[in-house]
Amino acid sequence: MCGRFVSVSSPRQLAARFGVDDPELPEHEPDYNVTPRADVLVVRDRPARDDRPARRVLSRVHWGLIPSWAASAAGRDSLINARAESVADKPAFRNAFRRRRCIVPADAFYEWQRGPRHRQPTARRARPQPFLVRRRDGDPLALAGLWEIWRDPAVADPDAPGAWVRSCAIVTTDADRLVAPVHDRMPVVLAEDAWDTWLDPGEHDVERLRALLVPAPDEWLEMFAVSTRVNDVRENDAGLLTPVEPTTRFPPAPS
């Protein structure tokens, strides 16, 4: 799964990286411990409409997808991830999968390795150890995402602030060989030559889209243990990205 990530690249850097053609970039403060329910940046292709040209934009949306047909926003916190294996069929995600796909830029993401449980019946499991996963070349990751727009029935005026809520989920797949020692799932990291296809709102070929939702090649990423401070959602500083000692690193650092 993907329950936390890092978002420190500026909107201008992300616009250059993902080919965003948007003169009005949103403001963004570096976030070293992005949590569910946060407002996050996504890249999406906005189709032409009336006198408005097609454009690739950088938007701020709520992390925790609210299906367009939902009667309320209750339970949205649980829809932070969509499984690649069922995303085309699950009611909460299938409409977004066909029409509203996005990229969630991330400078890194966290996964947790569960510690062994002692044999005593009353013993607790050891504290989970967080690991940070990032690209070896330092570029932001292009996480496959879905976005949705939901009309809040509690707001009578459709033009009032909050009447419409944009939200997203991150698509996950089986872990690659790098991440597998820590967790059996990981977010889908899209290759650059897949971005246009994934973002194209006119692309409806389910099998072609599914073919993009695969584990990242092992050589793209690196992973290492970081401080358990990450476990506390109140912790948010650059020190969270520092490897801990003794360093557990995948792949091992060259000797």
Dihedral sign of CA atoms 57, 27, 222, 183 in order: negative
Please provide the average confidence, as pLDDT, over all residues in the chain.
91
**Average pLDDT score over residue span 208-231:** 95
Q: Using CB atoms within 10 A of its CB, is residue 184 exposed (0-12), middle (13-18) or buried (19+)?
A: exposed
Residue range 38-63, pLDDT digits in tens: 999 999 999 888 778 889 999 999 99
pLDDT digits (tens, 9 = 90+) for 92-133: 999 999 999 999 999 999 999 976 544 555 555 567 899 999
Using a 10 angstrom Cβ sphere, with 0-12 exposed, 13-18 middle and 19 or more buried, the burial of residue 39 is middle
5-25: average pLDDT: 94
Picking from 105-109, 131-135, 152-156, 194-198, which range would have the lowest pLDDT averaged per residue?
A: 152-156
What is the sign, positive or negative, of the torsion defined by CA atoms of 95, 54, 155, 37? positive
Q: What predicted TM-score, i.e. pTM, was given to this entire model?
A: 0.91
State how far the Cα of 38 lies from the Cα of 81, in Å rounded to an integer. Answer: 14
β-strands 81-83, 164-174: how paired?
Answer: parallel
Q: For residue 118, what pLDDT is reported?
A: 43
Domains defined for the chain, CATH in brackets: 5-113+125-250 (3.90.1680.10)
